[in-house]
Structure 1
Amino acid sequence: MRLTEQQVRSLYGQDVQDRSGATIGRVGQVWADAAGEPTWVSVRTGSGTHDESMAPLHAARLQPGRVRLPYDRATVRGAPAVESDTEQPLGVDQLTLLYRHYQLPGQGAVRQPEQPPRGSTGAPETVRVEERARFGTVREPVGTARLRTRVVTENVDGTVPVAHDEVTVVHEPVTNAGDVPADLGEEQRDLVLHAERPVAVKERVPVERVRLARHEVVEERPVHAQVRREVVDPDVPDVARRDR
């Protein structure tokens, strides 16, 4: 991959994405080969350590503000790492591990530029770097809403009409001689009596449907970050200083 000087300068601090488009981290440093062509970048993954994972640039796609690698996140994060802001060039052992990790053919010597590529005028110059804070949001679970059904018992009172049989003795004169029994004797006649008693019959009936509805509420919240920037202090002898 042949890059212009401006493209190389723009690599520093750009987002690094895996092959699915997920952000892995940001470009920390750039390494060039013996011919001065950028070949490796280190990725600041924000994992809380001072190490930066190495990734090759040979098949990377440069897009506005980001570098997209043809590897997944786990491969890049698990790659051999270097210490942040190191000024040591990559050694043979490091290169061997990197080529083996990314399964790359061949191996060439590389050198690490101490600063982003300089101009060709021969005059000393440096590139001042500063951090920029970009605020966004991260979606994460904060809790679980549940519908629990439990059974409670309550007393229900009511009244119902009940009926029962009562007996009244009725005496009626006999006017027909034919109703006279043939002989005197003992006899028993039964009358079954009935009475109602109150009972409660329970039945299950659906009364309402209950569900959970999720609504997204957007609100503004303050967010703070600390960013670092480089300050260039020129050290020029008075005899050569010219105020502007």
Structure 2
Amino acid sequence: MQPQELIDSAVVDPAGNKLGKVGNVYLADATRQPEWITVKTGLFGTKESFVPLSGAHTDKDGVHVRVDKDAVSDAPRIDADGHLSPEESAQLYQHYGLPVPRTSPDGRMDAGKGGRPGDRTQRRDPAMGGTGRGKSEMDGKSMTRSEERLDVGTEQVESGHVRLRKYVVTEEQQVTVPVRHEEVRVETEPITRGDGKAEIGEAEQDVVLHAEKPVVRKETVPVERARLRTETVTDEQTVSGKVRKEKFEVTDDEGKHRK
């Protein structure tokens, strides 16, 4: 089983129960072969439990291990920090009822019961990742660190519609207009003797008087023209977003951070 191929594989117990997915692969110091895997369990895979690869095999549906679901659930909670101490290793072997391997003089692993827990440790191979914090690539002794950045641009979208319409309102206007009218005025002049024969009697004379009156007429005339046009204005908006980035961390075999 290649360590890289195990990451994110399903883990199945002897009864066919799916335990979760492989989070990390721990290698034996002496043989550099996969010895333990961590299985992501719990709600949304927030917990990791150590599962032994002793007697395990791979199939199309995942990694089949020899321990059952209950044993994995009750396994000691050990932080998957990249290295197992001899004490932690022995604790896990004891929980699963497995013999603690011992190291032979030629560096091979012997599964006899007389081995000492301190004879071997496991640590995570950096090339396998599996932490879900980013993608790293190993090239010799160098490691590439990646990070996400915001790429902000603009696009034109419809923000609304505007329409122009006209409607009729009625208002009252008052206009003062000069008008003329005729009035009767009596003019007299004296008559001298001998200017005619005078008679006494009744007489009347009809005079037609004229006057002007206001006449209202309405006409429609154009007074104003309106049109719609658009103009572009520029303002500033602040956008924000979450980005992920990778960081380097160096630890020694004892789990201590190094600068």
Same-fold call, TM > 0.5? Answer: no
TM-score interval w.r.t. the shorter chain? 0.3 to 0.5
Larger Rg: 2
Q: Give TM-score, length-normalised by structure 2.
A: 0.42
Greater per-residue strand proportion: 2
